[in-house]
Amino acid sequence: MPPRVVWCGYSEADQYYPKFIRGPNDVVFVADEKCGELLPPATVIRIHEDLIPRYLEVVAADAQDNLYLYLDSQLWRFNTKTHITSEFAVIGPDYRFRKDFSVTPEGGVIAACSLFFYMVDGNGRVIRYCKHDECNLSDFEIACPDDVDEPFWDYPLSLPSSVATFENTFVLGGFPVDRLYKYSFDGKLLFHMDGVTHANGHYSFEKEGLCHVRFDPVGNIWASTLERIYVFSTHGELIRFWNRDELRMNSEPINLVEDFAVGRDGLLYVHGPIKDGKRSIGVLEISL
């Protein structure tokens, strides 16, 4: 069955909300008070300016009713039940580079950016990091010791910019690093790949441009490039892929440069192209 659009909405291209964020094995849709009632099939959290200042961006959610907020190297935690915002951790620097955040089962955060990598525990303590002048990942296993581009943390201004967590593992990848890595939290390298060998040939992440890496609720790994979205098993075997032209909203291919996520119901949350100052947000029903 081809992918089918089950919901589509719009947001101002220069505004944070509405947006979807990744929660614990699910997708959370964050909407401000200006958003209407036509909402997607996901958990919806309303943001009000009197509770969360607009300049703090919501970047992730956990299973304990907390939202994680970010601005200028500072992470905050906002409890949606008590409405209390508390400082959580200092990471960074910011510099307006694309950043990605994923919450661990214990309520910690892993943050990825081409400028830095941070692992923060549930108490807000930085336990692993790599930044422009210092790195403590030396005991992490190296994928290709003979490769001049490995380990990636030897190039702290060119780190993987996308991250996702599942149970006690995480995946890393994304521009400017066109290779996917799966690690356990203690630094054991579970596998890595730089592309896909298929009946039609070899699809190279380097040639296609690896954009984002994600987990779905059962631990399958999803990876987007400028050309396709791939799905791999938890061990890295290819399950299937879709070419960009197969994933469409409003008769146009989705925007694979933008973020995507997979919900608990198996629905795919994506972005469409920006037109007339507006960004389309969509939900696709897909079949593996």
3 state SS for 13-80? CCCCCCEEEEECCEEEEEEECCCCCCCCCCEEEEECCCCCCCCCEEEEECCCCEEEEEECCEEEEEEC
The answer to whether the beta carbons of residues 101 and 110 sit under 8 Å apart is: yes
Amino acid 38: pLDDT: 64
Which residue range forms the structural domain that includes residue 253? 4-285
- pLDDT band at 250, cuts 50/70/90? confident
Instruction: Give me the percent of the chain exceeding a pLDDT of 90.
Output: 64
Domain count within the chain: 1
CATH number of the domain enclosing 126: 2.120.10
For residue 41, cis peptide bond before it (omega within 30 degrees of 0): no
Is pLDDT at 221 greater than 70 in this prediction? yes
**Residue 202 one-letter amino acid:** H
- pLDDT band at 99, cuts 50/70/90? very high
End-to-end CA distance of the chain: 9
Is pLDDT at 251 greater than 90 in this prediction? no
pTM listed for this prediction: 0.94
More confident residue, 158 or 189: 189
Is pLDDT at 179 greater than 70 in this prediction? yes
